Chains A and B, each alone.
Chain A
């Protein structure tokens, strides 16, 4: 799986958790908070995406992640490790 596909997984889970969002509006360089996600939404999106990707990245390693693209990088790094 490549980064683009991982972003698709994250984006789909974000869309499922947030009302009033459509896929065309989601920029990977933006943070989920920019789209109105709260801390509970983010936990849900990250957990659902990791379950789907069959990985478990420690939350402590995600603390500095600023946007969706960086989150995908972290996921990719763990999938390849």
Chain B
């Protein structure tokens, strides 16, 4: 690796460690990471928030170490439930009653009345027979796949699916196959190639890097034709889509086509954890073989009590999601006026795709932060090398003033350098 090429490398180039000393990383990885130009990019990771993940918060910047008041467009707190007074109070009350931790795995001593009630409430909400809770979203996807598949089976995923599903395939021993993003013909080819095997198709309701929706109608038709069930990851769509907030399945009126429903508690719910809803028989079986369920400490009861309240608040009426969708519409209108490339986003996740230059991405990210915007840059290999981007997570808690101010900064630090607007500023914004 010569000095001239150092910025062409990425984490994808260091997956394999050739260092004979297993306690040391690859030598070229260390040299690469120590380069200040590379190190700059990693200063945008693990930047500590100094207050709640609300639209106006405080962040200690990784580049300069300065703590600033920022407009937060990065947290997944889509409905503001992380700081909702009723949710916080429910956590406090449960904390007083149950203490801090669950003190055990769910199968042994880690199940409390709160877990039992919440699992039943989630199953009822998703109109499924049963539900199992996991301590993390990643563990939920991994555990569910491990609990259903084995060596000889095939997990077919959309090629934009989350790493947790890939890891689930690895953990289960099932063969992993992928189809082109949202491409029903590609799915049909892959299913035909693996005909005769036990197959599960996994897709996401909202894809987290692009904010576009699964083409569920077309995918369900192909799966029906092959007699293959669908696993739907609604991490970024539960509580947000559908008349009752059940997600993309409800949005498309195709819930009867879904074999297994997955969701997280760390996004719209404002907490932490994962859950899987399916038939009673499948959930009972899955619990016996999903390591992240069996061998992980259960969720703290205070979190579960808070998540029960989140579910209640988010589904008692549509106020929060209506507000979020109004914010999405207003934000999009402003971003479109800046002629920015928003990809195929059709959700509260809105990418601003800037192109292939990593240097430009991080220069913009530094300037955005200096101006008071917490807007996370997304680099290759998390996204394609030609489509580096920023990713906005729109929250119901954003005010019109927050969005206006954010868009002014985006105009100055992203749109103008990209040349998508001239000196006259936004038209129609």
> Closest approach, in angstroms, between the C-beta of A54 and any C-beta of chain B?
11
Contacts of B9 in A (CB 8 A): 56, 58-60
Which residues of chain A (42-81) have a CB below 8 Å from chain B?
43, 47, 51, 56, 58-61, 63-64
Residues of B within 8 A of A61 (CB): 8
Are A43 and B166 closer than 8 Å at their CB atoms? Answer: no
B178: chain A residues at CB < 8 Å are 33, 38-39
Given A40-B166, A40-B170, A51-B18, answer yes or no on A59-B176 (Cβ-Cβ < 8 Å): no
Are B8 and A58 in contact (CB-based, < 8 A)? yes
How many B residues, CB 8 Å from partner? Answer: 24
Are A40 and B176 in contact (CB-based, < 8 A)? Answer: yes
Contacts of A43 in B (CB 8 A): 12, 15
- Alpha-carbon distance between A24 and B226 when the two chains are bound, in angstroms: 30
CB-defined contacts of A51 to chain B, threshold 8 Å = 16, 18
Determine the residue in chain B with the shortest Cβ distance to A78: B5
Q: Please tell me if B10 contacts chain A, counting CB pairs below 8 Å.
A: yes
CB-CB contacts of A12-56 with B at 8 A, as 1s and 0s? 000000000000000000000100101110010001000100001
Point out the residues of chain B lying under 8 angstroms from A63, CB to CB: 380, 384-386
Least Cβ–Cβ distance between A35 and chain B, in angstroms: 10
Q: For residue A38, which residues in chain B have a CB less than 8 angstroms away from its CB?
A: 175-178
| B10, A36: Cβ atoms closer than 8 Å | no
Which of B5, B176, B177, B384 is in CB contact (< 8 Å) with A58?
B5
With A51-B18, A56-B28, A59-B381 already in contact, the answer to whether A36 and B193 are too (CB < 8 A) is yes
Q: Bound complex: CA of A47 vs CA of B28, how far in Å?
A: 15
- Smallest Cβ-Cβ distance to A43: which chain B residue: B15
Known: A39-B166, A40-B166, A51-B18. A60 touches B8 (CB 8 A): yes
* A59 proximity list for chain B (CB < 8 A): 9-10, 12-13, 380-381, 385
Q: How far is the CB of B355 from chain A (nearest CB, A)?
A: 13
CB pair B1 A56 closer than 8 Å = yes
Q: Chain B residues near A64: list those with CB within 8 A.
A: 386
Chain A positions within 8 Å of B176 at CB level: 38-40
> Do A36 and B177 contact each other (CB < 8 Å), given the known contacts A56-B1, A60-B380, A63-B384?
yes
- The CA of A22 and the CA of B90, in the complex, are separated in Å by 61
> How far apart sit A61 and B1, CA to CA, in the bound complex (Å)?
14
- Indicate whether B159 reaches chain A with its CB closer than 8 angstroms: yes
Chain B: minimal CB distance from A16 (Å) = 15
* Nearest chain B CB to A48 CB, angstrom units: 8
> Taking CB as reference atom, which chain A residue is nearest B1?
A56
Find residues 163-212 in chain B having any chain A CB closer than 8 Å to their own CB. Answer: 166, 170, 175-178, 193
Tell me which residues from 366 to 389 in chain B have a Cβ below 8 Å from any Cβ of chain A. Answer: 380-381, 384-386
Which B1-53 residues sit within 8 Å CB-CB of chain A? 1, 5, 8-10, 12-13, 15-16, 18, 28
How far apart are the CA atoms of A36 and B380 in the complex, in Å?
Answer: 24
Q: In chain A, what residue has the closest Cβ to B180?
A: A33
**7 new A-B contacts at CB < 8 Å, known A39-B178, A58-B8, A58-B13:** A33-B178, A39-B176, A51-B16, A58-B5, A58-B9, A60-B10, A63-B385
Interface residues of B (CB under 8 A from A): 1, 5, 8-10, 12-13, 15-16, 18, 28, 159, 166, 170, 175-178, 193, 380-381, 384-386
| Nearest 3 interchain pairs by C-beta | A59-B12, A58-B8, A60-B385
